[in-house]
Amino acid sequence: MSLVTKYNIPGPRYTSYPTVPYWDEASFTADQWLSSLRKSFTESNLTEGISIYIHLPFCESLCTFCACHKRITKRHDVESPYIDTLLKEWGMYVELLGARPRIKELHLGGGTPTFFQPQNLHRLLKGIFALADIDEQPEFSFEGHPNNTTVQHLETLYELGFRRVSFGVQDYDLKVQQTINRIQPFERVRKVTADARALGYKSISHDLVFGLPHQTWERMKDTIEKTISLKPDRIAFYSYAHVPWVKGVGQRGFDEQDLPDAESKRILYENGKQLLVDLGYVEIGMDHFSLPTDGLYQSVLDKTIHRNFMGYSSSSTQLMIGLGMSAISDSWYAFAQNDKSVEEYTERVNKGELPVFRGHILNEEDLVVRKHILNLMCNLETSWQAESVKLPELPEILDRLQEMQLDGLIEIKDNHLLVTEKGRTFARNIAMAFDLRLIRRQPKTRIFSMTV
Strands (E), 26-88: 50-56, 58-59, 71-72
Residues 435, 369: contact at Cβ < 8 Å? yes
pLDDT above 90: residue 388: no
What's the rounded mean pLDDT across residues 267-290? 92
Average pLDDT value for the chain: 92
Quote the percentage of the chain above a pLDDT of 90: 78
Say what the pTM is: 0.93
What residues form DSSP beta bridges with 311? 308
- From residue 116, alpha-carbon distances to 108, 362, 389 in Å are 11, 36, 44
More confident site: 388 or 343: 343
More confident site: 391 or 195: 195
Structure confidence at residue 386 (pLDDT): 82
Query: Which of 74-88, 134-148, 319-333, 433-447 shows the lowest per-residue confidence on average (mean pLDDT)?
Result: 433-447
What's the rounded mean pLDDT across residues 260-283? 90
The DSSP-derived string for 252-317 is: -SS-GGGS--HHHHHHHHHHHHHHHHHTT-EEETTTEEE-TTSHHHHHHHHT--EEETTEEESS--
Residues 311, 50: contact at Cβ < 8 Å? no
Q: How many CB atoms lie within 10 A of CB 302?
A: 11
| Measured distance CA(285)–CA(360) in Å, rounded | 26
Quote the percentage of the chain above a pLDDT of 70: 96
pLDDT above 70: residue 78: yes
Query: Which of 101-110, 127-136, 259-268 shows the lowest per-residue confidence on average (mean pLDDT)?
Result: 259-268
Structure confidence at residue 352 (pLDDT): 96
Q: How far apart are the first and last CA of the chain?
A: 15
pLDDT above 80: residue 126: yes
Query: Which of 2-6, 174-178, 229-233, 416-420 shows the lowest per-residue confidence on average (mean pLDDT)?
Result: 2-6
Structure confidence at residue 242 (pLDDT): 67
| Measured distance CA(139)–CA(107) in Å, rounded | 8
pLDDT above 60: residue 373: yes
pLDDT above 80: residue 447: no
At 323, is the pLDDT very low, low, confident or very high (cuts 50, 70, 90)? very high
Q: How buried is residue 99: exposed, middle or buried, by Cβ count under 10 Å (0-12/13-18/19+)?
A: exposed
At 252, is the pLDDT very low, low, confident or very high (cuts 50, 70, 90)? low
